[in-house]
Every structure is written in structure tokens, then in C-alpha cells.
Structure 1
């Protein structure tokens, strides 16, 4: 098998050949047909992210070992299955749920494997999809992609699931009030499509990049705002018909979370998804004064992925813009993403 491997944090990915994988127990070996490129993959290459106040989360100190293969947005077909995997239809294309846990703790048994204290995430704790083949622990993580093109199905494992789960956290207001999305990249564009698919209020999108604002308008945003404008808060309030009651921050930087707190009204919910980094910038009294709820949202559950895939198979979700690149160019594509040059989602496939 061929893969793009990370051998040292802060170093480029390198292509290499490895022996073909043999499945054990309930494992399934999937031949990868498409793998999405995500900002989390950038953090993995960097070795961590900024926590603010001079602190940093380092993957190496958290037990992540190298070499590793990144990539958690993965679609493919079954190439081999272990003796305990049961019957699997090898003619189908599957989207892989990458956020598995230990499988034995109370959290996993409750269905929230993505919150397990001993995670086994593909592309983070286990080798991921920047490869021709990937090892999946159990068939329960495979979801029929139906007639979806591989490059359309691949981003659903993270971009789609993350936005789907985040939207559920603002469900109390999403049907009646205009939400605000901070970040018009792959996650923001996916969120626009999911709002549309569920007949929810379309949002105001905030982004510093004019091309991403243009893409958001084309995808159905009611308005777009440049956060560097002096009257950005006023523009948001005008477009929302007042102070918004729900903001999803797909960036997760100090400036974006500060903007969210400044913009929202009383009783609002701010959901932070992005991992750009930094420390919380809010004046503490504003939390009780605004009665604001601030929530984190990290990917989504196995059952939520099942719901999302059902939406997708029915054709309810308009695909976001995707660009396919050779797997061999994975490191260059990561550089493009880091430089803000990717609109929508970049997809890797073996040439």
C-alpha cells in the first residue's frame, strides 16, 4: 500500500510504500477512493495548537505517536474483512465514521464515542486515510454512501458531521431566528447546505476573505460581513433583524469569539467549533449580564452520522465546492489550506 506519512511534527509529509494490511478480528480493510483535507490535519502536522497565554497543546505530550498517517474524512470500498467482521457487501462504497472510542467505557456505551477519554480516532490515534488503504476497527463504522460520488461523501465524516452536530446545539432558535456563522470555509459552506436541507433560517456569514464571502452568498447566505469593518456588529444586527441569538464559530480564534460575544443578544448561544487557538477574551460580567450559553462542539456521534448519511443519500444536501488533488501532493495541499487558498473542500485521491 502507498501512504503519505508524517514522521516528525513540523515536518513535511513523505510518500512511502508499506506492506499490505491484513485484518484481524472484527477489522475491515478499506481501499480508499477519496480522503478530505481538514484543518485538523494541519494541526497534526504542526504538532498541536495554541491555547493562549503562552501555552500550547502538544499532541506528542498527549500520547500521539509517530510515524502516522493523517486523514479522517475517508470514503472507500471494502478490500478485506477479519473473521469476526460478519457479512459485508463489498460492492458498496462506504463513508467511514472516524471518531471511534475504546468501545467499553460508559461514554462509548451511551453512544458518544467521540467523547471517549481513550479515543481511537482515525488520522489521529490510528493511521488515517492519506493512503490507498485504511484499517477500520469494526463494520459499525461503515455507512453506505449510496450513489454519492466519493469526493462528495468524504467531507461528510468531519465537515458534514461537525456542522450537523453544531446545528443541533442551536436548534431551539434555528427555526425562527437568523443565525450567524463565523467562517465561510468548508465547514461554513457545509453548514449553509445543511440549514437549507432542513428548511431552517439561512444565516449571516462572517469572514475576512472576500472570495469566501462570495462563496457564502452564492450558497444562500442572507448577508455576508467582513469582521474588520468598523461597523461589523451593526451590519450583523441589521442583517439579523436585531442581536442574534445563535452564533456558530467555525474559526475559534480570540478575535472571532470576542466578535461573537459582542454581537449576541440576551439568552443567546455561542457554539465554538474551530481550533484556531488562543484564550477566551470575554469580560466575565458579560456572561451573566447576557445570560449567554457558550458551548463547545467536537465532531458528532455515531448515530448523528447515521442521520447525516441518510440526508445525504436522499440528495437533500447540495455538495459544497470540492477540488481533487493527487494523493502524492498531500503536503502541498495542506500548505494551500494553511494559506487560505482552498474554497470548500480539498480532496485527495491516488493518481
Structure 2
């Protein structure tokens, strides 16, 4: 099968022929139909994060159909449409017992991070790693929900916004577009910030109340002049944005860190203490939150913004488009 592999210290993925995975009695072989490209892929390429093995097949936003199944698989049938939940916890630690598989202390599987992911024609998984989808669902468009929308739901659940809270989505894109919609569903007033007017136009269509182009306006002065904000979802995670966050937050505000650029941050703890600002870090999502994302999608209460569909052979070009901030939503690799 064709797959895109990341080798240690290489800046481009290699498209290679690799064996189709063999499954055991408890596993399912998935014919991948679509795989979204997340910005996290660039963190592995840039060595901000280290993969569990090299070479590795990245890709954690994966949708496909059941192609083959082991004899112990009971609740899935051939040709069922499925979405991959990319964490598999140990099932024994306190986090797993509490439904926080994303924080498992001894994970068995993290598709695309520790183990091979979905930038390939086939991927194997346990039945419990999969969410069954409705037969009439658009299998290609739903793939990014596995991370982009689900991560937004996780951030929302940690921030706990209330009606009429003023929230800032700092850095709109795949996760940011989801957060705009999710916070509007909670009755919040949403500020969106980006360097790209086209992204801000999309943000407005999704319900953003106030848009700020950070290339044209001083975001701190603008937000403070409008009364500050109660919650900031920082999808950039740079020294500059985090320092700006602290200045823009109202007293008792919440800073939710989702994005990161790998740099160190220099802040004065006193600025946090005297204003009772809470810093909340957020990674991935739980299986329940993935199922919630699918439910919202099925009910047409949330949209997934797709920039384009592309072929696996073009994945390195797609990664550069994402690196340069030129993707107006998720780029999705289609397999046919």
C-alpha cells in the first residue's frame, strides 16, 4: 500500500510502498477514505515533538470503512463507516478510569504520534478505537472532526464558558473555526484574531462577533478598548501571544493554551496572581468528546471548514501551505 512516512530529522515525508497491516482476532483493517492534515504534523517534522518511532506514518484525523475484521469483532460489519479515536489508554490508570484517555500514563496506542497513523491506504485498529458513523454521512468531510472539532470541545469543557461571556479565539484555523461555533452555541460573544483577512471572513460567517487583523491593529489596545475578554483560547502559543493574553484578560479570566510554537515564555507571575487569572492547558480530547463532535455534526449544529481535498502524492506541498498559514480550513487527503 502507499503511505507517507516521516523519517527522523527529515523535513519532508516520503511516499513509499509498505505492507498492508496484518490484523489479529480483536482488530479491524480500515480502508482509509480520508485523513485530515493537522498543524501538529509540522511539530513532528520540526522536532518540536518526537514521535514514538521512526520512520512513522503520521495522520490522526482518519475516516474510512471496515475492510476486514477479526473473528472477535462483534459490533462492526464490513463496509461500515468509521472514525478513528487516536488515543488508546491502558484502561487501568486513574485517568483512563475517569474517562480521560488523552492523559493516560501508559498509553497503548497514539495513532500518528507513537504508532503508525492514517496517511496510508489502510490502517489497523481495535474495535474500541473506532466510532461507527451513519451510513449517509460524508466520509470525506468528517475526517477532521477527529481532532479539530473534538479538541475544541475539550477546550470548551475545560474553560466552561457561560452565557454572555466574552471570549477570544486567538489564531483562527482548523480548531479555531470549531471554537467559534462551539462558543456561540453557549451564547458567548466571540472575538476572533488572525493575520489573514480571508480567515476572518470565514470566522464572521461562522458567527464571530468581532474580528481583529493582528497585522493591522494592536490587538491588546483593541480588545482592552472594547472591555477586555473573560476567556482566551490561544491557538498560537508563542511568547508574544501569551503575554498579550494576560494583558487582555479581565480579572478572574481564563487563558486556555492549545497551540504552541516550541519557544519559552517569559511572564511575571504577579500579573497572574493579582488578577486571579487562571491558566488552563489543553491536549487532545476524550472519546466522549469525539462522540459529541459527531453528534453535533449529524445535527447540523457545527460545520467543518475544508480548504481542499488532495492526493497523498501532494502531501508535502499541502504541509507547506499549512506552514505558511495559507490553508483556509483543513486540507484533507482523499484515498479512492
Partner of 2:93: 105
In 2, Cα distance between equivalents of 1:284 and 1:87: 51
1:114 matched to 2:102:
yes
CA distance in 2, matches of 1:168, 1:96: 21
What is the count of residue pairs matched by the alignment?
334
The equivalent residue for 2:24 is 24
1:54 matched to which residue of 2?
none
Tell me by how many angstroms 1:186 deviates: 1.2
Return 5+ residue gaps in structure 1 as ranges.
Answer: 50-57
Give the C-alpha shift of residue 190 in structure 1.
Answer: 1.6
Residue of structure 2 aligned with 1:264, choices 223, 229, 249: 249
Residue 59 (structure 1) aligns with: 50
SS at match of 1:78: strand
Question: Residues of 1 paired with 2:128 and 2:296: CA distance?
Answer: 18
Residue 203 of structure 1 corresponds to which residue in structure 2? 190
2: distance between equivalents of 1:70 and 1:207? 27
1:292 shift after superposition: 0.6
Which of 292-301 and 309-318 deviates more? 309-318
**Aligned equivalents of 1:346 and 1:202: distance in 2?**
28
Q: Deviations over 1:253-285 (max 9, x none)?
A: 111111111100110111000022222232111
Contact 1:328 1:350 in 2 (8 A): no
Query: Which residue matches 2:71?
Result: 83
- Counterpart residue number, 2:201: 214
Alignment partner for residue 95 of structure 1, among 83, 104, 107? Answer: 83
CA distance in 1, matches of 2:181, 2:137: 15
Deviates more, 1:90-99 or 1:339-348: 90-99
Q: Which residue of 1 aligns with 2:304?
A: 319
- 1:344 equivalent in alignment to 2:332: no
CA contact (8 A) 1:192 1:202 kept: no
Deviations 1:295-332 (A, max 9, x none): 10001111121222112122221231331010111111
| 8 Å contact from structure 2 (residues 36, 60) kept in 1 | yes
Q: Please say which of residues 34-43 and 82-91 is displaced more in the overlay.
A: 82-91
- Of 140, 149, 153, 2:142 maps to 153
Out of 320-329 and 66-75, give the one that drifted further: 320-329
> Match for residue 53 of structure 1?
none
Indicate the SS of the match to 2:58.
coil
Q: Does the Cα contact within 8 Å between 2:67 and 2:78 map onto a contact in 1?
A: yes
**Secondary structure at 2:166's aligned position in 1?**
coil
1:281 is matched with which residue? 266
Contact in 2 for aligned 1:5/1:16 (Cα 8 Å): yes
Pairs within 5 Å for 1:175-214: 175-196=163-184, 198-214=185-201
**Counterpart secondary structure, 1:180:** strand
Report the TM-score, using the length of structure 1 for normalisation: 0.90
Corresponding residue of 2:219:
232
Matched residue of 2:308: which SS?
Answer: strand
- Asked if the contact 2:306/2:332 (under 8 Å) is kept, the reply is no
Tell me, yes or no, if the aligned pair for 2:4 and 2:15 is still in contact at 8 Å.
yes
Matches of 1:230 and 1:13, distance apart in 2: 37
Gaps of 5+ in 2: none
Tell me, what secondary structure is at the counterpart of 2:62? strand
Task: Let me know the Cα RMSD of the aligned residues.
Answer: 1.8
Cα 1:222–1:80 shift into 2, 3 Å: same
Q: Could you state the TM-score of these two structures normalised by the residue count of structure 2? A: 0.93
